[in-house]
Amino acid sequence: MAEQYDLIVLGSGPGGYVAAIRAAQLGLKTAIVERENLGGICLNWGCIPTKALLRSAEVFHQMKHAKAYGLAADNVSADIAAVVARSRGVAKQLNQGVTHLMKKNKIAVHMGAGVLKAPGTLEVTSDKGTETLTAKHIIVATGARARDLPFAPADGNRVWTYRHAMTPKELPSNLLVIGSGAIGIEFASFYNDMGSKVTVVEALDRVVPVEDADVSAFLEKSLTKQGLTVLTGAGVEALTVGATGVKAKIKTKDGKVTEGDYSHVIVAIGIVPNTEAIGLEALGVKTERGIIQVDGYGRTGIPGLWAIGDVTPGPWLAHKASHEGVTTAEAIAAELGNKDVHPHPLDRSNIPGCTYCHPQIASVGLTEAKAKEAGHDIKVGNFPFIGNGKAIALGESDGFVKTVFDAKTGELLGAHMVGAEVTEMIQGFVIGKTLETTEAELINTVFPHPTISESMHESVLSAFGRTIHM
């Protein structure tokens, strides 16, 4: 006899487990199916453990520059095995936290690989056998995996994906990072701070190409100053993997092909949604390049079947998946007759992006170029950290805040930051955009002193010719 639920969530990443919790809070009998670790990639092999690694690198960087603060820290060294062990310990702690949340919310956990067999029917296979679960609604939240180079698939020895890069057996002496999106740049920053010689290759004409052009230019200059080699407009044409290293042929922007020797390579060229072999085709689910097409509430077009997270259109971010999880759970509850929930469709224009390299990057909304392309007459503000007292006191005066406004209405169209702790500050602008704020509200907001967040205020003032400290 198949176990019957109101909702089954396939996948327990930051989208899946949040959807399950919200559904349980709304009184739905809920189950979650996971083939590997509760918490998914983000918690176990992505967002959280990488931030633990980056924190170690940040502390190590500060120790090596202690003299700048009037301190002495001589002969400092790093134990990469201990750094990795700390990172894995953080991931384990949070994995246990998700396990606790499942029990607390009375969510049934089925460990195994799930396959959709029919509308409302999921077959789960594990080493213990196969069981059939049924539900009125099913959410697909199976996430994504790293994309391989077609001519040099990752082997975990010399050619790594992000997963291999989180648990290195040794510190690379000479590292090649292919791709300068968030994942590539974070690992380039981490390994550079840990002492590796790092080269970054990006096919497009600038690093972190989804960010504002001014942020990209600032980051490239900063990375180069830190000792990284950055090659933009370049591509890796071949990798020859040996027992002790990798030989790479790189075509640079001037059309020349050079050869270089590297101890390790990290491939960070995007992700592939985990939508194969889970039964979508048989149910007639519409996908484009493996990505499930959904409406603003997660509906797939197949009654009772929903999708969230990295299997749906981007941006492919953990916080976007979590937000979708809540929205979809509430939409399902509403369909089942709950009149107390009022879900709102996802607004992709208000999703922040954060990159935890050194220096950090954070942004929300339109870049200056995109705002112009959209036909806006704009006002742009820019305030450098060198004009901020707290940033100078911290020894973190490299960075800036840039804001983009509609000149006619005063609407905040976008905000872009690079520098210390900007990933913590961006939410101020996200809230502002969500509330449809204009420059008037931001100008009349009192910012605490001394904080780096005062740069946010000054950037707004700059856009309207009212800067105080520059």
Query: Could you give the residue numbers annotated as active site?
Result: 449
Distance, in Å, from the CA atom of 216 to the CA atom of 54, rounded to the nearest integer, reads 20
Q: Give alpha helix (H) positions in 110-168.
A: 162-165
Distance, in Å, from the CA atom of 95 to the CA atom of 48, rounded to the nearest integer, reads 10
Q: Which long-range contacts (CB under 8 A, 24 or more apart) does 244-253 make?
A: 245/158, 245/174, 246/158, 246/159, 246/176, 248/176, 250/201, 253/205
Distance, in Å, from the CA atom of 228 to the CA atom of 433, rounded to the nearest integer, reads 35
Distance, in Å, from the CA atom of 368 to the CA atom of 380, rounded to the nearest integer, reads 8
Helix, strand, coil % over all residues of the chain, rounded to 5: 35, 30, 35
CA-based angle 148:351:216, to the nearest 5? Answer: 60
| 375 Cβ contact partners less than 8 Å away, ≥ 6 residues apart | none
Q: Residue 57 — left, alpha, or beta (φ > 0 → left; ψ -120 to 50 → alpha)? A: alpha
